[in-house]
A and B are shown apart, each in its own frame.
Chain A
Amino acid sequence: MKTSLDGYSHLDSPLHRWEPRLKLIGLLALISAFAFVRELYLLPAMLAAALALLLLSRLPVRFVLRRLRYPGIFILALAVILPLFSGETVLLSAGPLALHQEGLLEFLVIAARFAAILAVGIVLFGTAPLLTNIRALRSLGLPSLLTDMMLFTYRYLHELATDLRAMQTAMRLRGFRAVKPDARSLGGLASLSGSLLVRSYERSEHVYRAMTLRGYGREPRAPEDRQITPRDTAALLCTLTAAAAFVAAEVAL
């Protein structure tokens, strides 16, 4: 389950240099504006904006494509379903199958929105270490319960995945094969999940004690936020203007 969520956060680009809090505000505003878009004429502009951000971020193309692959399956399914079953104007027909104009247009809008939102999301979380982004979220006012949980969960995710793999290997070595959902297979897998929960629970008790010893629970030192430069603010203004423009265009058209 090894993933390189922020594997390219060390690169240097205008987006990497952008102050994390302002970047979060700006790009999340842009993402929300993209969700508004339904007008066909706005799609090229939206895709161009997303592409420009991707290029500006200098994230490797392969990295971006790999992240688009998995959710692309869902979109492909829609590409089949919508044009065939939704709409009235028939564009093409072959036997019982007919390609409908409304469904096709609907699909284009969904696919474009999907690609643009995902691209901006990848830029947002690919151009800074996750810890920096979580700290930025915290200083923007996300409750500490949520940010603490994010940090912990992220910290132990890979470790527990490794634990799970080791336990699964051990089960296989002892002759466990799950082929159908009968009582034996389900029982084995249930014990596996239960053990995983118990292990993580026990570990969390140790972690909590160790952290209390190191002063967890006291008011944390205020993390030093990066200075906001005029360039950061200008970038934020540009992004917010673009976001507002998309929403305004959508409402006006």
Chain B
Amino acid sequence: MHLPDGILPVSVLAAGYAATGAVTWYSMRRIGREEDPREGIPKASLLTAAFFVASLIHIPVPPTSVHLILNGLLGVVLGWYAFPAVLVGLFFQAVMFQHGGLTTLGVNAAVIGGPALLAYGIFRLRRLRPASRTLTGVLGFLGGAAGVGITVLLLFALLITTIPAELDAAAERTAIYALVLAHVPLMLIEGVFTAMVVLFLLRVRPELLGEKRRPPEVAVR
């Protein structure tokens, strides 16, 4: 689901790198405000590796199977580390699997990492009613669906407006709508999946969702 080298014109590539540079810089500033920014690095990196690996899990959708992008979930779990995490993950996909590319790294990171931050923003609405599992599930769904939905929208908009030289504007718009509509089932699956994982984490390890760590239970005799 990322753009390989050689396809986009150089202006788009440069814009992608500029956007990615700006968002990375801003993310790093936000991370720097934390108490001990170094402490977050091993966590964010191992989770980045875990997300990289988890995106290899295939969801059966007969007659084929799809793999999830999980950028919504990544935003929810990693917060401001999400953007650097996407950048690092995409770098490795580009150099290890030639999936994506070095020149398109900026564009791809912006297209996948931007929606991840948006999902983080959506999920933070949880503060309104922190005790509600329903709200957590719904926000997880919205974050997951919006994450992949906006990524798909941006990708196709980029591809269709930049590649074929002569297609009229109306046809371009129709094509974008059609392609995005075709991905609605994927958005639903990704949304449901994200909600499920979020509820799982809430049950098992709420710290991963930014909750304070519960004091260890001490047996009183």
The docked-state distance in angstroms from the alpha carbon of A143 to that of B84 is 11
> CA of A164 to CA of B164 in the docked complex: distance in angstroms?
41
- Which residues of A lie under 8 Å from residue B163 when comparing CB positions? 82, 86, 106
Minimum C-beta distance from B207 to chain A (A): 8
Q: Are A102 and B50 in contact (CB under 8 A)?
A: no
Question: How close is B171's CB to chain A, nearest CB, in angstroms?
Answer: 10
B99 partner residues in chain A, CB cutoff 8 A: 70-71
CA distance A154 to B52 in the complex (A): 10
Q: Is the CB of B98 within 8 A of A145?
A: no
A70–B45 contact, CB under 8 A? no
Residues of A within 8 A of B39 (CB): 208
Q: Which residues of chain B from 162 to 221 have any CB-CB distance to chain A below 8 Å in the complex?
A: 163-167, 189, 192-193, 196-197, 200-201, 204-205, 207-208
How many whole Å from B17's CB to the nearest CB in chain A? 10
Tally of A interface residues using CB under 8 Å: 83
Do the beta carbons of A211 and B5 come within 8 Å of each other?
A: no
Q: How many residues of B contact A (CB 8 A)?
A: 68
Q: How far is the CA of A190 from the CA of B64 in the complex (A)?
A: 19
Interface residues of A in 194-247 (CB under 8 A from B): 194-205, 207-208, 211, 216-217
Q: Are A200 and B7 in contact (CB under 8 A)?
A: no
The answer to whether B46 touches A117 (Cβ under 8 A) is: no
Known A152-B46, A181-B189, A198-B205; contact A3-B96, beta-carbon cutoff 8 A: yes
Indicate the member of B5, B6, B52, B94 with the most A CB atoms within 10 Å.
B6
Asked whether A153 and B13 contact (CB < 8 A) given A196-B53, A201-B208, the answer is no
Docked complex Cα distance between A192 and B88 (Å): 23
Contact of A31 among B4, B49, B102 (CB under 8 A): B102
Contact (Cβ within 8 A) A148 B5: no
- List residues 54-80 of chain B with CB under 8 A from any CB of chain A: 54, 56-57, 59-62, 70, 73, 77
B15 interface residue per 8 A CB criterion: no
Q: Is A156 engaged at the interface, CB distance under 8 Å to the other chain?
A: yes
> B38 at the A/B interface (Cβ < 8 Å)?
yes
A117, B164: Cβ atoms closer than 8 Å? no
Contact of A113 among B6, B43, B205 (CB under 8 A): B6
CA distance A118 to B7 in the complex (A): 12
Query: Whose C-beta in chain B lies nearest to the C-beta of A178?
Result: B60
Q: Smallest CB-CB separation from A126: which chain B residue?
A: B95
A85 at the interface (CB under 8 A from B): yes
**Neighbouring A residues of B54 by C-beta, 8 Å:** 164, 193, 196-197
A123 to nearest B CB, angstroms? 12
Asked whether A201 and B60 contact (CB < 8 A) given A32-B103, A113-B6, A194-B197, the answer is: no
Q: With an 8 A cutoff between CB atoms, is B121 at the interface?
A: no
A113 to B88, CA, bound (A): 24
**Residues on the A chain within 8 Å of B196, using CB:** 186-187, 190-191, 194
B125 close to A (CB within 8 Å): no
A103 contacts B by Cβ under 8 Å: yes
Q: List 26 A-B contacts (CB under 8 A).
A: A31-B102, A32-B10, A35-B10, A74-B4, A75-B6, A82-B163, A86-B165, A102-B165, A106-B164, A130-B95, A148-B45, A152-B49, A157-B49, A164-B54, A178-B60, A185-B60, A189-B59, A191-B196, A191-B200, A193-B57, A193-B70, A194-B204, A196-B50, A198-B201, A201-B207, A216-B38
Beyond the given pairs A3-B97, A145-B31, 18 more chain A to chain B contacts, judged by CB atoms under 8 angstroms and listed by A's residue number, are: A1-B56, A70-B98, A117-B6, A151-B45, A164-B53, A180-B60, A181-B189, A185-B60, A187-B196, A194-B204, A195-B204, A197-B50, A197-B54, A197-B205, A198-B205, A201-B205, A201-B208, A204-B45
- Interfacial residues, chain B to chain A (CB-CB below 8 A): 4-7, 9-10, 13, 24, 28, 31, 37-39, 41-54, 56-57, 59-62, 70, 73, 77, 84-85, 87-89, 91-92, 94-99, 101-103, 163-167, 189, 192-193, 196-197, 200-201, 204-205, 207-208
A-B pairs, 8 with minimum CB distance: A114-B6, A152-B45, A190-B196, A113-B6, A194-B200, A86-B164, A200-B50, A204-B46
